[in-house]
Chain A
Amino acid sequence: MKSKYLNSFAMRGLQKCGDVYIPGDDELCSFSKSGFIKYIDRQLENMESDDIFGLNILLGVFSLFPQKLLVIILKIASRNEKLAKSLRPTARLINMGLKGLSCSLYYSGLESLDSSHPRVMEKMNWSPQRLESIDDKELSDLIQSNDFNATL
């Protein structure tokens, strides 16, 4: 699986971290098994380049750690209120950043690669109804004629 934004080490690190938050069970597949990582570029396409640089370093380092050590690190990061005040922001950043990345991929309603669990949200019976969108042709035409961006 290749990404425009994350290198191969970082992708491996994200799979490992994702499994810490989403270990899976009989009903729902794990993060790595789901294959949701294939959508990572959709998630990162508007992130600032400094943040993507930081993610590559962090996840690249994490990719080298054994899973048990990663669990310990992320557990400490998630219990950050017990850490010294100076360490807390970094721990919170790691916890929320990595949890946010993996969980947003997993719980966004996308289709997984795992044929036995194609739709996670359906398995969870999370099924909000959405009526068909109105086709707003008038607005569409107005945007086409008034937005300079439409002429680029």
Chain B
Amino acid sequence: MQDHFNYIIVGGGVSGSIIAEGLVAKGHSVLMLEAGKFFYTNNYPRFDIDSNSQMYWNGGVELTSDAEIGLVRPKMIGGGSIINGGLLDRFDDLAFEGFKDESGVDFFNNLVMTPWFEKVENTTSIVKVPEKFANKNADIFREGFKANGFRCDLLDRGQTDCRNSEGMDCIECLAGCPINSKQSTMITYVRSALKQGLKVFSEFEVKRIEPGEKVKVHGLDRLDKKWSFSADKLVLASGSIGNSKLLMNSNFKNPNIGKRFYTHPQYMLMAEFDYNIDAYKGPLQSYKSNDLNFRRKGFKLENVFAPPAAMSVLFKGIQDEHFYCMKNLRRFASIEVAIRDTNPGEIRVGKHNKTIVHKELDSVDLKRRDLGYDAIKNIFYSQGAKRVIEGEFGIGLHLMGGCSIGVDGSQSVVDPEFKLHDQKNIFCADSSIFPNAPGINPSLTIMALSKMAVEKFI
């Protein structure tokens, strides 16, 4: 088996997939090491219990140290693009200004980034979610916005034809889209990369890297057999927690590793109605807030729902109080508030390599959440909700930072050429380089930055 490559990529998620495709297209030999499995239409899990256990780290959810936020960390080739809602938004000026102010990196502006967004959009079908299939959960969102004078818009989603007219309910896509409509990077990049010779080692967990003229990578396969590979250049693409832990476990001394961790904490509120909402029907999500007032105040809203196993953890209480909600799940609508968090968290490695994440909401963040709660309650009650229930805990789906980018090596981990400050041949362009929380779904920008990194620097 070949053990030296031009490039090794640690992590096969969104960034790793795009960088891999870009590098093999240039004729380089590339090995992608991924701790998770290959999941695709032929083997997507059918039951929540299996998708939770097999498609996420630590069997589903990892809690922050105060157990206030559940972090959802995908573990598979294609990463978050397999299991997310498929929402793809460009950053606005406010997001890029925040990045530039924090990092000092010049390319964080829409003028420079637009061609990179366009390159991604040329390879990924992004459409407005068709309004004619909007379900009752979405209708309540739209009409509630109107009633309260808020502004909303249809979501931009990576999809081709979800065949909702044939009865497809996209809640099923949260464990992988069975009809290849959702534009996961498995479809848009990995397939092409494999055709061009990308080598992959799935179910391989990288334990340690050794920097040098040739970077060495050590890890274990699924049978716990040790392997070592080397490369001229290494790309870290295992996300905020994966990259931070790997660098710490490999004795990298930069004190900024693991710092500035953000999650866009998301809080779902559920509203009970007198009639069946059936939030599972058709597109899972149709609308998002598009309200400058919300944006300035640091939060956004989306209409959303989740499979019953996930909803059951969000409903508070025990015994009949909880059981009633689950039995009457069809009567519930849901809206989430995602906040643009300002208080950074920190990732550490505990005993037995356990992930420890300190991440608290400070008074600014709590105010943002509460303003979102107020807006959601107004929306629901304007549409006749009997009652509104706040979810049991926050959810961290957008894991960002930990290896933040910046011009100042004493304040950041990655330089403006996507290279670790103190290294010659170790690169990173995934969400771990984010210097703060943009307040916008990060996927499209991760893709654009990865495109830019592979074309210009790596």
Contact = CB atoms under 8 A, between A and B. Distances in A.
Contact of A139 (B191, B319, B326): B191
Contact of A107 (B38, B48, B316): B48
A134 interface: yes
B425 to A, nearest CB: 23
Q: Is the interface of A mostly helix, strand, loop or mixed?
A: helix
Contact of B308 (A88, A90, A96, A121): A121
B312 A133 contact: no
A48 B350 CA distance: 13
A1 interface: no
B296 interface: no
Interface string A38-77: 0100111111111100000000000000000001001100
Given A50-B352, A96-B392, A104 B52 contact: yes
A117 B330 CA distance: 19
A71 B320 CA distance: 12
Interface stretch (B195-203, B333-341, B430-438): B195-203
A147 B392 contact: no
Of the candidates A96, A126, A130, A135, the one having the most CB atoms from chain B within 10 angstroms of its own CB is A130
Contacts of A149: 200-204, 221-222
Given A103-B313, A148-B199, A131 B59 contact: no
Contacts of A43: 49, 52-53, 59
A71 B318 contact: yes
A78 B222 contact: no
A99 B316 CA distance: 10
A104 B311 CA distance: 10
Interface string B199-240: 111111000000000000000011100000000000000000
A119 to B, nearest CB: 12
Interface in A99-116: 99-100, 103-110
B167 interface: yes
A39 B329 CA distance: 23
Interface string B305-328: 001110111001111101100110
B172 A130 contact: yes
Contact of B42 (A107, A110, A126, A133): A133
Interface string B389-408: 00011000000000000000
A84 interface: no
A121 B351 CA distance: 40
B309 A107 contact: yes
23 contacts: A21-B323, A43-B52, A92-B68, A93-B63, A93-B67, A96-B70, A100-B313, A107-B307, A107-B309, A109-B48, A126-B280, A126-B330, A129-B172, A133-B179, A134-B180, A139-B40, A139-B42, A140-B40, A146-B199, A147-B200, A147-B201, A148-B201, A149-B201
Interface of A: 20-25, 27-28, 39, 42-51, 71, 74-75, 78, 88-90, 92-93, 95-96, 99-100, 103-110, 121, 124-126, 128-136, 138-140, 142-143, 146-149, 151-152
